[in-house]
């Protein structure tokens, strides 16, 4: 074939000649003059006919090119895109043959997708067979033009493809505070944020809450941390840019990012919206790695590290960004992204109802959020505390209905068999059976705090009234949005103490001593 | 008044003159010649007008008497009865004034009921006022005859009041096997069963299963037992008589009785059909007392003791009797009443679905039932055992799909993260976290066995995959019926070894050694 020498794909197959990766661009964006930013990078398992096809496409008339429709599924559902293979196919680097092993993870739909791509490309190429075929074979007999036109019609009947906020934002550096070494002080530092990809939302971070787990991780008290570490997973800010496939956010929106910035997107948990329980592991907002191949920051050695909210900007896939209601104070909303969702999720998941009686054990940031959300939920809220000294704040400031002091036998006796659910936020050793005794029949004891030691109970504590002990870990993205909407509706923010970047190290010591009501929030304008 | 000397009620008020108890008979039964067995005994708080009324009623024309309609509620709903106060009002013994304290437990409806009775009686008596009024005042002006007639019409429009099986069965004695003293052998004995009340079902017991808890109680290993003790709460037999208000059972029906023969009928649990979790405590089938005032066997000193299924007959309120499907072997069905419902209830309550993966820990009677029911449920069933030696029976006889030996590291590793629910029937010490590790995200660990010691786990065992530890204790009556219907549909009985009464003591020793597949069932024909 005359054009074979000029085909940009010809030398791009993998080392074993079976893989190639190509980018596809959105034709409507293109036609509207928005350039040719890739909307999707797809790895194809190459067969000889496809290599031929690619060569042919490169050489082909526009009409033939336009007949390639690709149906693909993203996190949020199925869309039909009208795509054309660009003449300037871009090679994204060598593809290791171990990618074959990743195909099964794609799932049945993924396999079907690849089948569809092949099918369409085969139509264009006029069928299989090494290197054979040419433009004169087009359109192939079995190419379903009617179906294709119908899909295009459907597509066009929908609201126009939103490309108004489409522009290219290159990678750029930003100021942050980081622990340069384990247990080191939090000091000014600079990190790079990635270019805004098609599904990305770029955020100007205004505030970041300090979560107790930030302290644990910056002090490297858990698994081996990645340093320098930029903590922060209670992020609130404003959108500064969105990628061309983002329709749910626009520049200027108030948004938040919580504990995760990515997940496998394929497991049962991800499919159910429980990305926090991703079976392959969510990519944590900091101290994690962009480990999934679908991510632009994925690298051959496991992905670039993630850096959190103690910084002035972040770029996050739209699937992991939530909208903060306009009426909420942005600084006070930041802690909702971890503390808020951590207590909201088990209330929702375990079916708490208005009118029920909710116990909240422990009155730190999580406990305070649980009281406020529980009240807004329509529950009678009982704070269960180890000492008397938080009674006033619980009752007056947080509007709890009752206050039980564990050291007070009368309190304990009166509260027996009275609660439908207890959100246990205590991260220290405590005696579970005493708390279980506060529950009614079918009562639920939800652990969201992690005591360092094992806890124990007797089967008799749960069997005779069919009680339940369960745990909960932050929440999924959809649930986080529900929580934010709920807080917006009820005007709930977390009470906070605003600090500048140079006070983070000091704040950490106070967090450890529980000397804060109820969250430190960092003002990133001070960086 | 001329008749006052002959009024059978005149001297029947309580010591403080404020209470009387009277019996009401069903008029339609009466008219049909079925005699005058009481359909309901009611304690009224007496006011002077009511005493007068009673006197008057006694003296009154039949027309006036027939105008007393009493609406009352029983366990199964509200019924309107057409009743007349019988001339021969029967005094049931003195009523202690502490009954006043029990009135609040009757609940709002009960209060309303008493109000209705008063209202009607007042109509008949021609209004309040001590001793005044007479037959010439009738019908009272405000007696709503139209409403009354309408109620009668409604009542008559329904299927005829079923009285075909109505007859009086007096109290009678029956043969049984009893532990005469704690830890004594089970020996032949005789007990009395009560007369068949209006809501009672008399049962000819054919078979009774031996539950491990029978051994604990006969050996007085739990709370102080009541001796002589007739154990047995896995009862299967045939109906020999029913009271006049019983329409759901008839003579000859195959029926079963489980762990309870009564409950308060007023608490939230009872109302929801969870009589097993009755907040005032269910009346256990044996080693309990007929402690509720609504029960014919209630006595001033707390009620007569209950005697269980190791006997040839029993009389039980219809609300605590279940129907055994005709296709089931009666002996093999007996253990369903405890072992079956104990594992069925948590499967149903915790939302086990067909296609899910169920683990069963321990393979005694409960475990065997859980495997069979789990298979019929449509689950893949994994038996988790401490040793290899039950593999063959689990796989071949009970048709389990997988067998995990806890001592086998490879088994344990392979089963990690694979199960949706585990029914834990183990009553010995065991390591909960290892079992929790078998659960998937949102997996549920249900304890139905009671290890003697407290169990422990770490919050990390449940939080990251939102796992749940819960308990379950037998099941409610409605659920027990569902279980029996389910077993009927799937032809499930408990594999059993049939024994005669004189082998019970020996069988107990074998139960303790788990030397039975899977239940001993006593043939009461051998007594
Ligand atoms: Zn946090
Ligand atoms: Zn996932
Ligand atoms: Zn990523
Ligand atoms: Zn039992
Ligand atoms: Zn009850
Ligand atoms: Zn009773």
Q: What is the arithmetic mean of pLDDT over A106-117?
A: 33
Residue A39 near residue A29 (C-beta atoms within 8 A) = yes
pLDDT the model gives residue B527: 96
Burial call A472-492: b when 16+ CB within 10 Å, e when fewer: bbbbbbebbbbbbebbbeeeb
The whole-angstrom separation of Cα A481 and Cα B161 is 58
| Rg of chain A on CA atoms, in Å | 27
pLDDT the model gives residue A59: 35
- Which pLDDT tens digit goes with each residue over B66-96? 333 222 222 222 222 223 332 222 323 222 3
B489 class by beta-carbon count within 10 Å (0-12 exposed, 13-18 middle, 19+ buried): exposed
Q: Using a CB-CB distance cutoff of 8 angstroms, which residues of chain B are in contact with residue A448?
A: 463
Strands (DSSP E) contained in A127-247 are 172-179, 186-193, 200-210, 235-242
Q: What is the arithmetic mean of pLDDT over A128-132?
A: 35
pLDDT the model gives residue B70: 29
The whole-angstrom separation of Cα B13 and Cα B1 is 18
Put simply, whether B441 touches A (Cβ < 8 Å) is yes
From the list A205, A207, A486, A482, the residue with the least C-alpha distance to A327 is A486
The whole-angstrom separation of Cα A449 and Cα A408 is 23
The whole-angstrom separation of Cα A8 and Cα A287 is 39
Of A279, A441, A473, Cβ closest to residue B463: A473
Average pLDDT over all residues of chain B? 76
Q: Tokens 């522009």 sit at which residue? A: A167
Q: Token digits for B215? A: 């051994």
For the ranges A158-167, A291-300, A463-472, B97-106, the lowest mean pLDDT is seen at: B97-106
pLDDT the model gives residue A195: 86
Q: Compare A305 and B123 and report the one with higher pLDDT.
A: A305
The whole-angstrom separation of Cα B442 and Cα A470 is 9
- Write down the CATH number for the domain with range A172-338+495-526: 3.90.180.10
Name the residue ranges covered by the structural domains of chain A: 4-157, 172-338+495-526, 339-471
Contact A466 B463 (CB under 8 A): no
- Which pLDDT tens digit goes with each residue over B429-438? 999 999 999 9
Beta carbons within 8 Å of B120's beta carbon, 6+ residues apart: B67, B68, B69, B70, B143
pLDDT the model gives residue B487: 98
The whole-angstrom separation of Cα B98 and Cα B111 is 17
Q: Is B82 left (phi over 0), alpha (psi -120 to 50) or beta?
A: beta
Find the A291 Cα to ligand 3 centroid distance in Å.
7
| Tally: H helices and E strands in chain B | 16, 22
Q: What is the arithmetic mean of pLDDT over A15-33?
A: 38
Which band of pLDDT confidence, cut at 50, 70 and 90, is reported for residue B157? low
The whole-angstrom separation of Cα B372 and Cα B376 is 6
- Which pLDDT tens digit goes with each residue over B248-291? 999 999 999 999 999 999 999 999 999 999 999 999 999 999 99
- Please give the DSSP secondary-structure letter assigned to residue A140: P
Q: What is the arithmetic mean of pLDDT over A186-210?
A: 95
Which band of pLDDT confidence, cut at 50, 70 and 90, is reported for residue B128? very low
Strand-pair category, B260-262 with B200-210: unpaired
The whole-angstrom separation of Cα A366 and Cα A375 is 14
Q: What is the arithmetic mean of pLDDT over A60-82?
A: 29
Contact B462 A449 (CB under 8 A): no
pLDDT at A87 over 70: no
pLDDT the model gives residue B503: 98
Give the torsion sign (CA, B243, B246, B252, B253). negative
Residue B264 near residue B279 (C-beta atoms within 8 A) = yes
From the list B420, B439, B349, the residue with the least C-alpha distance to B379 is B420
- Which pLDDT tens digit goes with each residue over B12-51? 433 333 333 333 333 444 444 443 333 333 333 222 222 2
Strands (DSSP E) contained in B218-295 are 235-242, 254-257, 260-262, 283-284
pLDDT at A129 over 90: no
- Which pLDDT tens digit goes with each residue over A254-285? 999 999 999 999 999 999 999 999 999 999 99
Of B274, B451, B469, Cβ closest to residue A469: B469
pLDDT the model gives residue A17: 35
Residue B54 near residue B20 (C-beta atoms within 8 A) = yes
Distance in Å, alpha carbon of B349 to nearest chain A alpha carbon: 10
Topology of the domain covering B172-334+516-526 = Quinone Oxidoreductase; Chain A, domain 1 (3.90.180)
Residue from B355, B442, B466 whose CB has the most chain A CBs within 10 Å, to mutate: B466
Find the A476 Cα to ligand 2 centroid distance in Å.
11
Complex ipTM, two decimals?
A: 0.71
The whole-angstrom separation of Cα B517 and Cα B338 is 16
Distance in Å, alpha carbon of B345 to nearest chain A alpha carbon: 11
pLDDT the model gives residue B243: 83
Packed helices B339-349 and B365-377: angle between N→C axes, nearest 10 degrees: 40
Give the torsion sign (CA, A278, A279, A283, A285). positive
Packed helices A477-490 and A365-377: angle between N→C axes, nearest 10 degrees: 70
For the ranges A35-44, A68-77, A422-431, B299-308, the lowest mean pLDDT is seen at: A68-77
From the list A348, B511, B350, B514, the residue with the least C-alpha distance to B522 is B511
pLDDT the model gives residue B198: 83
The whole-angstrom separation of Cα A208 and Cα A190 is 17
Q: What is the arithmetic mean of pLDDT over A226-249?
A: 94
Contact A463 B450 (CB under 8 A): yes
Q: Which residues pair with B40 in a beta bridge?
A: B24
Q: Compare B43 and B146 and report the one with higher pLDDT.
A: B146
Q: Token digits for A122? A: 């085969």
Packed helices A48-59 and A99-125: angle between N→C axes, nearest 10 degrees: 50
Q: Compare A438 and A68 and report the one with higher pLDDT.
A: A438
Q: Compare A412 and B108 and report the one with higher pLDDT.
A: A412
Interface list for A 261-280 with B (CB within 8 A)? 268-269, 274, 277, 279
Q: CA torsion angle for B356, B361, B366, B371 (degrees, to 10)?
A: 40
CA distances from A429 to A72, A386, A416, B230 (A): 50, 11, 21, 45
The whole-angstrom separation of Cα A227 and Cα A307 is 10
Which band of pLDDT confidence, cut at 50, 70 and 90, is reported for residue B136? very low
pLDDT the model gives residue B147: 64
Residue A229 near residue A216 (C-beta atoms within 8 A) = no
pLDDT at B175 over 60: yes
- Which pLDDT tens digit goes with each residue over B292-348? 999 989 988 999 999 999 999 999 999 999 999 999 999 999 999 999 999 999 999
Reduced to 3 states, what is the DSSP secondary structure of residue A38?
strand
The whole-angstrom separation of Cα A33 and Cα A50 is 29
Interface list for B 276-335 with A (CB within 8 A)? 277, 279
Reduced to 3 states, what is the DSSP secondary structure of residue B521?
strand
pLDDT at B63 over 70: no
Q: What is the arithmetic mean of pLDDT over A87-113?
A: 29
Contact B469 A464 (CB under 8 A): no
- Please give the DSSP secondary-structure letter assigned to residue B181: S
H or E element in which residue A521 lies: strand A519-523
Beta carbons within 8 Å of B94's beta carbon, 6+ residues apart: B14, B15
Put simply, whether A455 touches B (Cβ < 8 Å) is yes
pLDDT at B107 over 70: no
Q: What is the arithmetic mean of pLDDT over A97-115?
A: 30
The whole-angstrom separation of Cα A337 and Cα A427 is 19
pLDDT at B10 over 90: no
- Please give the DSSP secondary-structure letter assigned to residue B386: S
Q: Which residues pair with A101 in a beta bridge?
A: none
Residue B447 near residue B424 (C-beta atoms within 8 A) = yes
- Which pLDDT tens digit goes with each residue over A313-345? 999 999 999 999 999 999 999 999 999 999 999
3-state SS record for A489-506: HHCCCCCEEEECHHHHHH
Q: Token digits for B524? A: 């009461």
For the ranges A37-46, B446-455, B472-481, the lowest mean pLDDT is seen at: A37-46
Topology of the domain covering A339-471 = Rossmann fold (3.40.50)
**At A362, phi and psi to the nearest 5?**
90, 140
pLDDT the model gives residue A243: 83
Reduced to 3 states, what is the DSSP secondary structure of residue B81?
strand
Q: Compare A74 and A525 and report the one with higher pLDDT.
A: A525
Q: Using a CB-CB distance cutoff of 8 angstroms, which residues of chain A are in contact with residue B268?
A: 441
pLDDT the model gives residue A171: 83
Q: What is the arithmetic mean of pLDDT over A352-373?
A: 97
For the ranges A96-110, A124-138, B384-398, B493-507, the lowest mean pLDDT is seen at: A96-110
pLDDT at B358 over 90: yes
Q: Compare A139 and B347 and report the one with higher pLDDT.
A: B347
The whole-angstrom separation of Cα A439 and Cα A436 is 5
pLDDT the model gives residue A196: 86
Contact B447 A462 (CB under 8 A): yes
Which runs of consecutive H residues, i.e. helices, occur in B168-284? 212-218, 268-271
Q: Token digits for B505? A: 């003591």
């Amino acid at each position: 074939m005359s054009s074979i020498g000029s085909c940009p794909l010809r030398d791009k197959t993998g080392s074993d000649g079976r893989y190639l990766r190509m980018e596809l661009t959105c034709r409507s964006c293109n036609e509207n003059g928005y350039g040719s930013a890739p909307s999707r990078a797809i790895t194809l398992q190459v067969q000889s006919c496809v290599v031929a096809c690619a060569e042919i496409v490169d050489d082909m008339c526009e009409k033939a090119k336009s007949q390639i429709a690709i149906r693909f599924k993203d996190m949020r559902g199925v869309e039909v895109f009208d795509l054309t293979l660009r003449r300037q196919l871009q090679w994204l680097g060598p593809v290791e043959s171990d990618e074959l092993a990743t195909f099964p993870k794609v799932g049945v739909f993924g396999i079907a997708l690849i089948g569809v791509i092949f099918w369409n490309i085969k139509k264009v190429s006029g069928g299989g067979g090494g290197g054979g075929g040419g433009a004169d074979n087009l359109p192939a007999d079995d190419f379903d033009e009617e179906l294709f036109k119908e899909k295009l019609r459907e597509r066009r009947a929908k609201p126009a493809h939103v490309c108004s906020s489409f522009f290219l934002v290159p990678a750029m550096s930003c100021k942050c505070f980081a622990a340069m070494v384990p247990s080191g002080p939090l000091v000014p530092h600079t990190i790079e944020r990635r270019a805004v990809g098609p599904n990305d939302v770029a955020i100007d971070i205004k505030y970041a809450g300090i979560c107790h787990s930030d302290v644990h991780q910056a002090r490297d008290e858990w698994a081996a941390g990645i340093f320098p570490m930029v903590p922060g997973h209670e992020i609130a800010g404003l959108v500064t840019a969105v990628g061309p496939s983002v329709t749910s956010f626009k520049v200027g929106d108030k948004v938040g990012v919580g504990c995760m910035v990515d997940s496998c997107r394929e497991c049962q948990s991800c499919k159910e919206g429980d990305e926090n329980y991703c079976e392959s592991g969510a990519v944590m907002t900091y101290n994690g790695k962009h480990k999934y191949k679908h991510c632009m920051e994925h690298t051959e050695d496991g992905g670039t590290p993630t850096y959190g909210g103690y910084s002035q900007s972040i770029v996050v896939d739209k699937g992991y960004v939530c909208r903060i209601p306009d009426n909420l104070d942005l600084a006070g909303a930041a802690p909702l992204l971890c503390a808020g969702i951590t207590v909201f999720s088990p209330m929702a998941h375990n079916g708490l109802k208005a009118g029920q009686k909710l116990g909240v054990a422990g009155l730190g940031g999580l406990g305070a959020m649980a009281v406020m959300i529980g009240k807004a939920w329509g529950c009678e809220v009982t704070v269960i505390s180890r000492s008397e000294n938080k009674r006033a704040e619980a009752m007056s400031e947080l509007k709890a209905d009752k206050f039980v002091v564990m050291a007070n036998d009368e309190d304990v006796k009166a509260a027996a068999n009275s609660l439908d659910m207890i959100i246990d936020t205590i991260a220290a050793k405590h005696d579970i059976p005493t708390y279980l005794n506060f529950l009614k029949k079918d009562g639920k004891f939800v652990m969201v705090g992690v005591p360092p030691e094992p806890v124990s109970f007797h089967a008799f504590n749960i069997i005779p009234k069919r009680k339940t002990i369960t745990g909960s870990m932050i929440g999924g993205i959809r649930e986080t949005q529900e929580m934010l909407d709920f807080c917006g509706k009820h005007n709930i923010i977390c009470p906070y103490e605003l600090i500048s970047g140079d006070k983070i190290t000091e704040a950490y010591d106070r967090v450890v001593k529980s000397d804060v009501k109820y969250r430190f929030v960092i003002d990133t304008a001070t960086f």
